[in-house]
Amino acid sequence: MLCQFAGEVIARGLGLPLPGPVIGLLILLAILVVRHGPDEDLRTTSTGLLRHLSLLFVPAGVGIVTQLDALERDWLPILVAILVSTALGLVVTGWLMQKLDRSG
Amino acid sequence: MTGVSQLWVYLQTTPLLGLAATLIAWEVAVFASRVARGHVLANPMLISIVLLSSLLLLTHTPYRAYFEGGQYVQFLLGPATVALAVPMYFNLGRIRRAAPAILPALVAGSLVAALSAMLIARGLGASRTVVLSLAPKSVTTPIAMGIAEQIGGSPSLAAVFVLLTGLTAVVIGPGILRFTRVRDWRARGLAAGTAGHGLATARILLLDETAGAFGGLAIGLNGIFTAILVPFLATLF
């Protein structure tokens, strides 16, 4: 757990254009490769954290109340744009991946 | 009665209220989702957000007061993103073998999602701020907010679009992938992570760990790719 935080802090401190957590992810992945896998503690912590991943998006989601004006004005274009583009994104990625992947 | 309202005024100034409200709303939402037998619209996150937003609007509580407590929950998003490295590690072999398929699929999906959203919104007459804030909607919230700010959109609007996109992917994803016969869990995971970032990945991780690993990979790669692509796309609008 500590090594995750350390990774994050280092990544942020270096002022790289990528967000800290993404660099932290890469650092932890590199550590896992070198160490040949996570120990019991890290495995338990990460499983627990990831099981409640959806909860962590709630506070940002409630931020919707600060944007009601813009949403009210442009609700139709927003709704159509998000619905169609998300559907296209899912299908293009999934379909192409399945089509190209021969690694089984 | 004055006692109660005084208590309310006091609680509004402490982070405890926002934190407790978030956790209670989450428990209620998880219970409701269980009663509805996991129906897609009974998504615990969607229910929590509706409950909390209604509460704020009804009690005229400013979002800032709520976020005093909510930020503690949001803070865990960073470590949780880092923790995606664990399922990714266990699927490293699979990821390496699938790499020649992953990159084109991810780049194409990411480009199609960002470009179609901007074109549709502009075609239907949305304001320029809305169009620009839609561009990074498929990537994880912190990256999306940074990109939106950089290209002249609104970071908080981008955060809302990211959320709506993730919810859309969670709700329509299973149906649309089944309909287009995308059965491979690795392809489903990659699609979820590319089009629906952490939110759709969180959902698919519960169904299949390999899909979760590919979703986590897609979040990272799409974040990097979008950060490079979108500033360029923005110059076209």
| Same domain, yes or no: A15 and A34 | yes
Assess whether pLDDT exceeds 70 at residue B183: yes
Tens of pLDDT along B24-78?
999 998 888 888 876 766 778 888 988 999 998 898 888 888 888 888 887 787 7
- Domain end, chosen from A34, A51, A68, is at A51
Please give the residue of chain B at the shortest CA–CA distance from A46. B83
- The pLDDT, as a whole number, for residue B114 is 93
| Same domain, yes or no: A71 and A34 | no
ipTM of the predicted structure? Answer: 0.79
Higher-confidence residue: B132 or A44? B132
Minimum distance, in Å, between the CA of residue A66 and any CA atom of chain B: 7
- Judge whether B215 is closer than 8 Å to chain A, CB to CB: no
| Same domain, yes or no: A45 and A75 | no
Q: Is the pTM value of this prediction over 0.95?
A: no
The whole-angstrom separation of Cα A87 and Cα B102 is 18
- Average pLDDT over chain A, rounded to an integer: 79
| Same domain, yes or no: A25 and A70 | no
- Structural domain tally of chain A? 2
| Same domain, yes or no: A45 and A17 | yes
Contact A19 B223 (CB under 8 A): yes
| Same domain, yes or no: A73 and A29 | no
Contact A89 B203 (CB under 8 A): no
- The pLDDT, as a whole number, for residue A18 is 58
- Judge whether A7 is closer than 8 Å to chain B, CB to CB: yes
- Judge whether A57 is closer than 8 Å to chain B, CB to CB: yes
- The pLDDT, as a whole number, for residue B5 is 65
Instruction: Quote the percentage of chain B above a pLDDT of 90.
Output: 30
When mean pLDDT is compared over A78-82, B67-71, B82-86, the highest value belongs to A78-82
- Judge whether A60 is closer than 8 Å to chain B, CB to CB: yes
- Average pLDDT over chain B, rounded to an integer: 85
Mean of pLDDT values over A29-45? 82
DSSP 8-class letter at A101: -
| Same domain, yes or no: A13 and A46 | yes
- Judge whether B76 is closer than 8 Å to chain A, CB to CB: yes
Contact B187 A55 (CB under 8 A): no
- The confidence band for B93, taking pLDDT boundaries of 50, 70 and 90, is confident
Structural domain harbouring A9: 1-51
Assess whether pLDDT exceeds 90 at residue B124: yes
- The pLDDT, as a whole number, for residue B2 is 55
Higher-confidence residue: A53 or B129? B129
Q: What is the 3-state secondary structure (H, E, C) of chain B?
A: CHHHHHHHHHHHCCHHHHHHHHHHHHHHHHHHHHHCCCCHHHCHHHHHHHHHHHHHHHCCCCHHHHHHHHHHHHHCHHHHHHHCHHHHHHCHHHHHHHHHHHHHHHHHHHHHHHHHHHHHHHHCCCCHHHHHHHCCCCCCHHHHHHHHHHHCCCHHHHHHHHHHHHHHHHHHHHHHHHHCCCCCHHHHHHHHHHHHHHHHHHHHHHHCHHHHHHHHHHHHHHHHHHHHHHHHHHCCC
Assess whether pLDDT exceeds 80 at residue B4: no
Assess whether pLDDT exceeds 80 at residue A24: no
The whole-angstrom separation of Cα B220 and Cα B87 is 14
